[in-house]
Amino acid sequence: MRIRSVEAFPVSYQEPTDHNRFRAVCLVKITSEDGHVGWGEGCAYFPEATLATAKLVEGLAELVVGQNVLHTKSIWLALKEHSWWYGTAAGIASIAISGIDIALWDLKGKVTGLSVLEMLGGPAHERMPAIASLHGTKVHIEEMAEEISAHTATGLHGAKVGFGKRGEANLGFEKDRDLEFVRQVTEAMGPGKSLMVDLGVKNKWDIATAISRAKAFEELGVAWLEEPLGHDDPEGYKALRAASGIRIAYGEREWNAKGVKRIVDTGTVDVVGIDPGRIEGITGFQMAAEFCAMSNRQANAHNFSTAIVGAASQALSWASPACKLLELQPVYGPAQKDLVDKPIWHENGFVPMPEGPGLGIEVNEDLILSAKME
Ligand SMILES: [Mg+2]
């Protein structure tokens, strides 16, 4: 079965988890000659990058159309080779390839009747715990503790909270406020729940600040500290690692499996964030996650986008031994709950094993067309 067409849909939507900010992603629709359809997503997030990704997808389409739908790896290699000048080590070519690759895996499953999880070799886990992925947004810590614990009370195993985001939370800037936040949230969630702290680009900690917070957070039982020194500070992370035993998370801004290898090899990352909509798709994620497993590091899907990346993250996390949990956005918006017929969710805190051909979802194309950017 051959591929008939590749279409790019740059869309913009409001994200309730991110303070109702408008976000943009490039969705990709690939159709086979017999009319089966696969969907993918490139997580460009910003409108200008999303429009540029759409142009790249349209340009790369000539390497995809006419190819065998089963040849996901061959096509992925051809896309990588073609984009040598603008996408070898980094760059939004990786986001465009991600969108195409996810759509190809979905299409291959729709044509063969196999799920992405089955095509990846089946489950590596008996169950997959879920945590809430949230941003701190409110001025009063008590209100945030109440809100976060209401989410974890549904069975979720903990919460990862983004600091330095929009709104009035003002987290990640003053040590006393940060520690009070951690204390109150931990107490409100109760025993057995994990709290992960994820620093934002506005926080800009130096090494001394990162060490001081890490030591204090470690004492308070924070499960991991994410991007305390951004994504590209190997010397800083070495100093932090030497000074504190807290688990360090970063990696979601890497563009490919080689980038993940580079950071793992520094010996400073315990939890490697991997975004399937950025790291060259399901093919790239699988490579990166396998390397994490071989290196005895935890991998963690950066599942912070629409239900398409959600479904890909679900299948990849189930298939990858290095993935131990899956983040869900409990503040559901249309990009998660209305975009597909079966949005990813949890049952008593566990994400079910994906079922059905491809990504196991049917996409609401009318909603996509209504959100399309010009
Ligand atoms: Mg993060």
pTM of this prediction exceeds 0.95 = yes
Q: How far apart are CA 305 and CA 28, in angstroms?
A: 14
366 CA to middle of ligand 1, Å?
31
227 CA to middle of ligand 1, Å?
7
113 CA to middle of ligand 1, Å?
34
H/E element, 41: strand 37-45
265 CA to middle of ligand 1, Å?
20
What is the dotted CATH code of the domain comprising 3-113+364-370? 3.30.390.10
Q: What are the residue ranges of CATH 3.30.390.10 in the chain?
A: 3-113+364-370
Q: What are the residue ranges of CATH 3.20.20.120 in the chain?
A: 119-337
Domain 119-337 falls under CATH 3.20.20.120: yes
* Dihedrals phi, psi of 345, to nearest 5 degrees: -155, 180
The pLDDT assigned to 246 comes to 98
The pLDDT assigned to 28 comes to 98
200 CA to middle of ligand 1, Å?
8
312 CA to middle of ligand 1, Å?
18
Please name which of 59, 69, 56 lies closest in space to residue 30, comparing C-alpha atoms.
69
Query: What tens-digit pLDDT sequence spans the chain (374 residues)?
Result: 999 999 999 999 888 877 788 899 999 999 999 999 999 999 999 999 999 999 999 999 999 999 999 999 999 999 999 999 999 899 999 999 999 999 999 999 999 999 999 999 999 999 999 999 999 989 999 999 999 999 999 999 999 999 998 889 999 999 999 999 999 999 999 999 999 999 999 999 999 999 999 999 999 999 999 999 999 999 999 999 999 999 999 999 999 999 999 999 999 999 999 999 999 999 999 999 999 999 999 999 999 999 999 999 999 999 999 999 999 998 878 898 899 999 999 999 999 999 999 999 999 999 999 999 98
DSSP-assigned beta bridge partners for residue 42: 26
Q: How far apart are CA 64 and CA 278, in angstroms?
A: 19
The pLDDT assigned to 18 comes to 78
231 CA to middle of ligand 1, Å?
10
275 CA to middle of ligand 1, Å?
10
Q: How far apart are CA 25 and CA 134, in angstroms?
A: 19
The pLDDT assigned to 188 comes to 98
